[in-house]
Structure 1
Amino acid sequence: PFWTSSQVIEGKGRYTLPTETKYNGTMKDGMFHGKGTLYFPNRSKYEGIWDCGISKEGKYTFADGLEFKDKKWHYCDGYDRRFYTEICSGLKPAGISQLTNLDPPRTIPQGCYDCGDGFYNTNTRVVIDYKLRFLRNADDDEHEWIIRTCRKGWDEITGFKPKQ
C-alpha cells in the first residue's frame, strides 16, 4: 500500500517524506519498524532493521555503490585518493605511472602532444582529432598551455622513446 498522512501508518508499504526521501518497508504505530530501506534524493540508501523508529542495525550505500564501513575503511585513505567509481572503472592512482587514464595509453605521434580532444603538432601549431582530422589552429595561449601540461609523443619522465 501507499500511505498518506491522514491514514494510520501500519504494516508494509511505501511512504515519501516531505524531504523527498522515500521509505519502503514495515511500520508500526506510525514508526519505522522491522525491515525497511530509506532512499535519499541523492540516490544513496540506508537499509536497516528498525525498532519503534530507531535503527538497530543497517547499511548505508552511497549513490555510486560504495558501502560505508565504520571499521576497516579502506576507501580514500592517504595512499589512494580515487573516487569509488574510478576504482571500479580501473582508473589508476596518481603518480609517475599515471600519465593517462587510458589503459593501455593512447599512442601519440612523436613530437606531438595529446591535448585532450586530439593531437597537437608544435611545428604546424595545428590540433587534429584522434581520427587525424583537422580541428583548429592553436593560438599562443593554447600552445603554451599544451606544452606546459599535456603528455608528449614520448614519455619525457621515464625517457622512454618508441622505436622509429
Structure 2
Amino acid sequence: MRKFSDDCRANDSKQACYRKLENMRCEWRPLKTFWTGSTYLGTWNGFGMSGYGIYTYANGAVYEGEFEDNMFHGEGVLKYPNGTSVRGIWVKGVLLKPSSTTVFADGLMFREHDWQYCEKQDRRFSIEYVHKLQPAGMTFLSADGPPREIPEGFYDCSDGFFDPKSNTVYDYNDLSKAIRVPDMTMRDWIMKNCRTSGQLKPLGPQPQLYEEWVNPIYDYVHPTPPPELFTERDFDDVPSSTRNLPPSTINMSAIRFS
C-alpha cells in the first residue's frame, strides 16, 4: 500500500498532504499478512493501519485496539501467549505506564509499587486466593496449580524454563525455542527464588522466609491469694457436740475465733 494516496499531489507540502489524509475516512479491509508472519485485520486510511483493528504477531501475541499511522495509538490491550494481558493507553506506539494495567493469566493484577504478592507477609499464590490453602502435602508449588516437571539444571520462572548456562528462558513445550534473555538482576532473582529440578516435593518450613518475630514479654502481677477463712486452730473452741452438726444449725456467734 502506498504511504500517500493520489489526493496528495506532487506540489503539495508534506504538512498539507498530512492534513488531507487526516480527514480521510477509515475503511475496513480484509486480513493482511505481512512478510514477518504478522497479520492485521481492521481499518485503514492513507497512512496505513488507522482506526481500530487486531494485530497478531508471529509469536502469537495479539494487540486489539486503536491505531494511527501504523502504530498503536489510543486505547488497546496487548495479550501474550501465556495469558498475560496489558491494557492501557498508547501514544505513537508507546504505552503510557500511569494508565496501564497488567493482569496475569491467573487473574492476578500487577502493582508497580507496594506489591505484597508472595512476600513474607503472605506467600499465597493467586490460585490459593480462589481455591484456599490446601492441607500439608497438597500445597501449590507454583502459581499454575500442579507443578511442572523441570528439566535437569533448569529453573521454572512462570513463563518458561530458565537455563543458567545460556542465560535464556525457553518455551515450556519446546526447549529449542528461546523466549527471552533476562538481565543479571533478573537472573540472580530467578536462581534465588524459583524452583529448580529435584524440588517437586514440598521443602517444609523455611526459616529464612519468616519474619523476625520477638517473643512478647508478659509482666504478670500475681495477686496475693486471699487468707484462709478458717484454720484447724480456729475450731479448737468449737464444742465437740456441735462439730458434726450441719452448718446451718451451728450458732456461730457463740464461737470465739482467734
Using the size of structure 2 for normalisation, the TM-score is: 0.34
Structure 2 contact 78–85 (Cα < 8 Å) conserved: yes
Normalized per residue, which structure has more helix?
A: 2
Structure 1 contact 46–61 (Cα < 8 Å) conserved: yes
Q: Does residue 1:4 correspond to 2:32, yes or no?
A: yes
Task: State the shift of 1:100 in Å.
Answer: 6.7
Cα distance in structure 2, aligned partners of 1:83 and 1:77? 10
1:121-160 matches, within 5 Å, as none
Structure 1 contact 47–59 (Cα < 8 Å) conserved: yes
Identity %: 35
SS at structure 2 position matched to 1:9: strand
- Which of 77, 81, 90 in structure 2 is aligned with 1:50? 90
- Which amino acid is 1:19 matched to? N
Structure 2 unaligned segments of length 5 or more: list them.
Answer: 1-27, 35-43, 140-203, 205-258
Residue number in structure 1 paired with 2:107: 65
In structure 2, the CA distance between the partners of 1:3 and 1:75, relative to structure 1 (3 Å rule), is same
SS at structure 2 position matched to 1:25: strand
Listed one character per residue, the Cα deviations across residues 119-150 of structure 1 (whole Å, up to 9, x for unaligned) are: xxxxxxxxxxxxxxxxxxxxxxxxxxxxxx9x
1:26-41 matches, within 5 Å, as 26-41=66-81
Q: Does residue 1:18 correspond to 2:46, yes or no?
A: no
**Bigger Rg over Cα:** 2
Structure 1 contact 3–9 (Cα < 8 Å) conserved: no
Q: Greater RCO between the two (CA within 8 Å, min separation 6)?
A: 1
Residue number in structure 2 paired with 1:80: 122
- Which amino acid is 2:102 matched to? Y
Cα distance in structure 2, aligned partners of 1:35 and 1:3? 21
Cα distance in structure 2, aligned partners of 1:12 and 1:3? 13
Cα distance in structure 1, aligned partners of 2:68 and 2:31? 12
Cα distance in structure 2, aligned partners of 1:31 and 1:18? 17
Alignment RMSD (CA, Å) = 2.5
Cα distance in structure 1, aligned partners of 2:62 and 2:93? 15
Task: State the shift of 1:101 in Å.
Answer: 5.8
Structure 1 contact 49–55 (Cα < 8 Å) conserved: yes
* Number of residue pairs aligned between Structure 1 and Structure 2: 98
In structure 2, the CA distance between the partners of 1:3 and 1:34, relative to structure 1 (3 Å rule), is farther
Task: State the shift of 1:90 in Å.
Answer: 1.2
In structure 2, the CA distance between the partners of 1:3 and 1:33, relative to structure 1 (3 Å rule), is farther
Structure 1 unaligned segments of length 5 or more: list them.
Answer: 93-97, 103-148, 150-164
Using the size of structure 1 for normalisation, the TM-score is: 0.53
Cα distance in structure 2, aligned partners of 1:63 and 1:86? 14
Task: State the shift of 1:3 in Å.
Answer: 5.1
Normalized per residue, which structure has more strand?
A: 1
